[in-house]
Structure 1
Amino acid sequence: MRSLLRLRTYAYPIRWYLAGAVLAALLASGAVLVTPLVLGRIVDGPIGHHDRAALWPLIGLLLLLGVAEAGLFGLRRVLIARPLAKVEAAMRRDLYAKLQRLPVAFHDRWASGQLLSRATSDMYTLRLFLAFALIFLIVNSVTFLTGSVLMLALDWRLGLIALAPSIPLILFCAWFETRYSKASRTAQDQNGDLATVLEESVLGIRILKSFGRQRTMARQFRERAQLLRATELRKTWMLADLWSVIVGLPELALGSSLAVGVVLVAHDELSTGSLVAFLSTALALRWPVESMGWLLAYSNEAGTATDRFFEVLDTPEPEPVRGTAGEPDGSGIRFTGVRFRYPDAPADSPDLLGGIDLHVRRGETMALVGATGCGKTTLTALLPRLYEATAGRITLDGRDIAALPPGELRSLVAVAFEDPTLFSATVRENVLMGAPDAADAALEKALATAQAGFVADLPDGVDTEVGEQGLSLSGGQRQRLALARAVVGNPPFLVLDDPLSALDVRTEALVEAALREVLADSTALVVAHRPSTVLLADRVALLSDGRIADVGTHAELLERCTEYRALMSGALERSVA
């Protein structure tokens, strides 16, 4: 209940619809409970006295009660359907917005399938809980209490016999709830793991087919599916145990009530009509009692789904820095004592970046080189605050990026990653993510800069859908579109992570020539692995052992830095090979 109570924030705007649905269901259940009283009246009245004329009005009343019950239950669905769809949409919207605000480090730790299952299957579970389980937990509880009072009023002796199983049922349900809640959480987590395997298999289908690993992934999928199946079967056995107790004990009590009632009628201590009314009331309570097993089970699943939903929403976001970012002073990009370690790194491991001091002058292009794994990409990811620096300070033209709103910061810094990501959208939409308000002329210029002339040959030009992950394009084509996305808005600060790695020699030369014009108007930090990329830069910074080991022009570093010469000679040999 503590978990489910957290849903009240989302349920509050539709509280009157929920109240109306509960009221309609209560009135429908009331019609069900009135029916046994009418039956008892028929038996003791018209049937007992052979009064056919008095029978028809009571039969008409039974028909009216039946129509009212059906109509009220239908009204419940009409009242709640549309408002609950809005609640579900609001919860999905908040979850999606939270995922967008959370840092990249969060997404590094969480499997995408786990997040996907929270946004799909868990939302469906919560909507059904609010639409059905919550309402009938209230309605069936009230119906049971009202019916119990009616049975005791009709005959207290039979009522006590019929209600005798209540206490053991309550104790058994409490024991069941603890076990079932744990199993529900396990099943939902396993469902997320299964979704992760499925998503990775679909996205990596080319790799799987290329290396013939379909059976390996199929085995992983089968193993995860079998784990989920075992957990679901365990839940089913628990629910079967609960159901057998919930159905069995009341049936024994009902049989005992019938036997004692017959004896009482035989000794004229109870009228036949009262016995019929009592038994009809007891039978009318079978659904409220038996459904409690399913309602408890579903409520536990909804409780764990709520926990999983708020597990994401409760994840702390980076705290905004108090104070102002300052006024631009034209000083370019400056790293001062910047340190960084990944949040999940072992406590005894050294920082990946151990005190970076680097100044990229205004309008300058700085190439960042270093051995594989030294932290070049991580350092560039600190500029748009994809990761938060552990210590130190980063400024753009004198303005501290930690004090800049993320939206403003990312409008100043454009990024092109080495592994380009495209979305299931058109070429135009993918490129204009870098500047949504850019005109067609800017789009065409960006495509020209990136040497993306292939776009004109696509079926619908810039309005061609590139497919999921842009896999309908080659690696070089995807990289050129990612580069166009970075430069389309003429950003004052540009971060390029080895932007030419997937290009052939001829295209690389053309892109480099066009990039020189763009870089002339920007302050840029370029991760470089090849001498041709390094030559785009005004100066070069060598990253080694988590620090900037040397800074200078390409010629200066070749002359004085042994490590730089080794890096460049190896890169040159690879490019020639």
Structure 2
Amino acid sequence: MSTTTAAPSQARRSKAYDLWRMRVYLQPYYRLTAWSMVAAVGSTAASLAIPLLIQRVVDGPVRHGDTRGLFLLGALAIALGVFEGALSFIRRWAQSASSVGMEARLREDLYAHLQRLPIEFHDRWQSGQLLSRATADLSSIRRFLSFGLFFFVLNLATYVAVSVLLIHLYWPLGVFVALSAIPLFLIVRRFTARYYAASRELQDSLGDLTTRVEESAQGIRVIRAFGRRDHVGEQFGDGARHVHDLGVGKSRMVARTLSQFDLVPNVTLAVVLVAGAMAVSAGSLTVGTLVAFVALQVMLVWPIDILGWIIANAQEAMSASARIYEVLDTPPSIVDRPGAVAPSTVEGRLRFEGVEFGYEPGRPVLRGIDLEVAPGETLAIVGLTGSGKTTLVSLVPRLYDVGAGSITIDGRDVRDIRLDSLRRIVGTAFEDPTLFSMSVRENLTLGRTDATDEEIEEALAIAQAGFAHDLPWGLDTRIGEQGLSLSGGQRQRLALARAVLGRPNVLVLDDPLSALDVHTEALVEEALATVLAGTTALLVVHRPSTIALADRVAFLQDGRIAATGTHSHLLATCPGYRDVLRGT
């Protein structure tokens, strides 16, 4: 599902507004930018001085045969060239340093903001769209803020300075050259609106294509297993061709505009050469002045040629800024309340009072949930698929926030506990474990980096994950992306060991043994029983054997708690509970 629609408030903004907001990321580099601009102005001034020097050479030493003056002026021209080259080096170095720094700061802020956004945001957004914003869009912004905008200001100043000099040298032709900016303005005005729309469409399509590549890489086993390589390849090919066609359309648009940009200065130069030659013949203009005039005008050709690239880059940067601020302007909804605390001691009494929750307004998943779990008690959550079991336990560590009611730990609302503290108090292990492209040790200590070797060994023993020592480099072995180099059962056991290692006061286990064989499951349950004896736990289960770990069972049906009690009590009194277990 595409999720690239801007918020209504954004739709009313000018296209350049979000790009203007990006200036804050250049603030730490204003000094470098200033040095770059000073160097650029100095370099441009040196280049402007050379045609004027040529005028003096032609109308002076050349005209009068003064070789000594000719050599003197030639040495001065060389000095100006060396000076211009040195300043160009300073300008390029300062520009590059500021642009890379700006891009790094923006990328860090974007990544940090993504980490703060709630799970429901990531549920809605395609990962490829986020990835394209953090890579291609940032590059577009960097190119414009560090180079495009810089050269736009510099070239505009150059155009004005050259026009003033041309008017000073010979005002009739100088005014004519200055007025050539009018057709350029009309070309730019017609180009910008169309190119912005084309850039936005291409960037969104690249995000969709990135998502398709990512999904294909992650699901390669499924694709191979079902023999759908050709089908997936065709889908990717369709998306790639669409991106290609959009790119070609953009290139055609730029090529057409650039050719018009080229036409204006070339026609102007032709008029200047003819009219200037006539003025020289009439004696109203010297040869040296005409040479200097033409040399100065030629200096306008490159700024005009690059104007098309700058404008195109500006449109891409504006589109990229709007896409990035769609993310940055999304406020984190799960944050610390004012006055939130980090409890010094936790008993682990867990209470749900009138809890309601829905992923979409008007479509509740959970309704009127009332539960209490005593410190050290293990409560199993049982229900049909889709009844809301995972949603219920996800509310405890505030992966989602309740829509109504409250969840308390030791009488304190979880929303009044600082998030960093809450997620140390509540440990989680999910049915679909996520492991990262890092070592086994780093994956295990993700929630507790100060864990000792003895504590790691204890957690591995509880989860029956001793296989980690048999990997090529033991706990220092790097596992592949999402842990796909391991079996499903191995991934689950490592995820369980990670949850146990954090020594949480409240342990949330969302069917963490589903991928284990019967023998390993029995061993894990036996070891896990000792951990659960001193920990408040919510245990989502599907297998009857796992229910033996629980002191009580809550039967969830249609988003409500239909019954609670011991396993034997519910078997005897709750037909729906018996039906669920019979189905498993």
TM-score by length of 1: 0.96
Q: Is the 8 A contact 1:325 1:401 kept in 2?
A: no
1:85 aligns with 2:100: yes
Partner of 2:287: 272
Using a 3 Å threshold, how does the CA distance of structure 1 residues 125 and 211 change in structure 2: closer, same or farther?
same
Partner of 2:229: 214
Q: What is the aligned counterpart of 2:431 among 418, 426, 429?
A: 418
Moved more, 305-314 or 271-280: 305-314
Q: What is the aligned counterpart of 2:45 among 26, 30, 35?
A: 30
1:363 aligns with 2:363: no
Corresponding residue SS for 1:543:
strand
**2-side partners of 1:569 and 1:219: how far apart?**
43
1:134 aligns with 2:163: no
Q: Report 1:259-338 matches (<5 A).
A: 259-318=274-333, 320-324=336-340, 330=347, 332-338=349-355
Q: How many residues align?
A: 567
Corresponding residue SS for 1:476:
helix
What code does the residue aligned with 2:425 have?
L
**2-side partners of 1:352 and 1:441: how far apart?**
42
Shift of 1:389: 1.2
Q: Is the 8 A contact 1:420 1:478 kept in 2?
A: yes
What code does the residue aligned with 1:552 have?
G
**1-side partners of 2:450 and 2:68: how far apart?**
81
Q: Report 1:10-21 matches (<5 A).
A: 10-21=25-36
What code does the residue aligned with 1:13 have?
P
Shift of 1:438: 1.2
Partner of 1:254: 269
Partner of 2:212: 197
Shift of 1:211: 1.1
Q: Is the 8 A contact 1:330 1:398 kept in 2?
A: no
Shift of 1:107: 0.5
1:308-366 superposed Cα distances (whole Å, 9 cap, x missing partner): 22221111112543455697784711111111111xx3x5x531112211111111100
Shift of 1:85: 2.4
**2-side partners of 1:489 and 1:184: how far apart?**
47
Corresponding residue SS for 1:30:
helix
Gaps of 5+ in 1: 572-577
Partner of 1:440: 453
Partner of 1:394: 407
Q: Is the 8 A contact 2:380 2:554 kept in 1?
A: yes
**2-side partners of 1:208 and 1:189: how far apart?**
25
Q: Report 1:544-563 matches (<5 A).
A: 544-563=557-576
Q: Is the 8 A contact 2:505 2:536 kept in 1?
A: yes
What code does the residue aligned with 1:321 have?
R
What code does the residue aligned with 2:150 have?
I
1:568 aligns with 2:581: yes
Partner of 2:513: 500
What code does the residue aligned with 2:80 have?
L
Gaps of 5+ in 2: 1-15
Using a 3 Å threshold, how does the CA distance of structure 1 residues 164 and 83 change in structure 2: closer, same or farther?
closer
1:249-282 superposed Cα distances (whole Å, 9 cap, x missing partner): 2211211121111111111111111111111110
What code does the residue aligned with 2:459 have?
A
Partner of 2:126: 111
Shift of 1:175: 2.2
Shift of 1:4: 2.2
Using a 3 Å threshold, how does the CA distance of structure 1 residues 87 and 329 change in structure 2: closer, same or farther?
closer
Moved more, 437-446 or 121-130: 121-130
**1-side partners of 2:476 and 2:264: how far apart?**
67
Partner of 2:464: 451
What code does the residue aligned with 1:233 have?
V
1:530 aligns with 2:543: yes
Q: Is the 8 A contact 1:423 1:469 kept in 2?
A: yes
Corresponding residue SS for 2:371:
strand
Moved more, 50-59 or 477-486: 50-59
Q: What is the aligned counterpart of 2:240 among 225, 232, 237?
A: 225
1:189-211 superposed Cα distances (whole Å, 9 cap, x missing partner): 11111111111111111111111
Paired-residue identity, % = 49
Corresponding residue SS for 2:48:
helix
Q: Is the 8 A contact 2:129 2:207 kept in 1?
A: yes
**1-side partners of 2:337 and 2:152: how far apart?**
47
Shift of 1:507: 0.5
**1-side partners of 2:530 and 2:158: how far apart?**
78
**2-side partners of 1:570 and 1:433: how far apart?**
36
Corresponding residue SS for 1:358:
strand
Shift of 1:225: 1.3
Q: Is the 8 A contact 1:369 1:543 kept in 2?
A: yes
**1-side partners of 2:25 and 2:270: how far apart?**
45
**2-side partners of 1:52 and 1:321: how far apart?**
83
**1-side partners of 2:219 and 2:209: how far apart?**
15
Q: Is the 8 A contact 2:379 2:552 kept in 1?
A: yes
What code does the residue aligned with 1:249 have?
V
Corresponding residue SS for 1:535:
helix
Using a 3 Å threshold, how does the CA distance of structure 1 residues 98 and 324 change in structure 2: closer, same or farther?
closer
What code does the residue aligned with 2:394 have?
A
Partner of 1:43: 58
Shift of 1:128: 2.3
Moved more, 379-388 or 65-74: 65-74
1:501-559 superposed Cα distances (whole Å, 9 cap, x missing partner): 10111101100100100000100000011111111100000111111010000000000
Using a 3 Å threshold, how does the CA distance of structure 1 residues 323 and 70 change in structure 2: closer, same or farther?
closer
**1-side partners of 2:494 and 2:342: how far apart?**
34
Shift of 1:46: 1.5
Q: What is the aligned counterpart of 1:178 among 193, 211, 218?
A: 193
What code does the residue aligned with 1:316 have?
P
**2-side partners of 1:450 and 1:204: how far apart?**
27
Corresponding residue SS for 2:402:
coil
Corresponding residue SS for 2:549:
coil
Corresponding residue SS for 1:394:
strand
**2-side partners of 1:246 and 1:80: how far apart?**
26
**1-side partners of 2:100 and 2:27: how far apart?**
14
Q: What is the aligned counterpart of 1:242 among 240, 257, 261?
A: 257
TM-score by length of 2: 0.94
**1-side partners of 2:505 and 2:393: how far apart?**
15
Corresponding residue SS for 1:303:
helix
Corresponding residue SS for 1:434:
coil
Partner of 1:159: 174
Moved more, 21-30 or 139-148: 21-30
Q: Is the 8 A contact 1:331 1:398 kept in 2?
A: no
What code does the residue aligned with 2:349 have?
G
**2-side partners of 1:330 and 1:425: how far apart?**
34
What code does the residue aligned with 1:335 have?
F
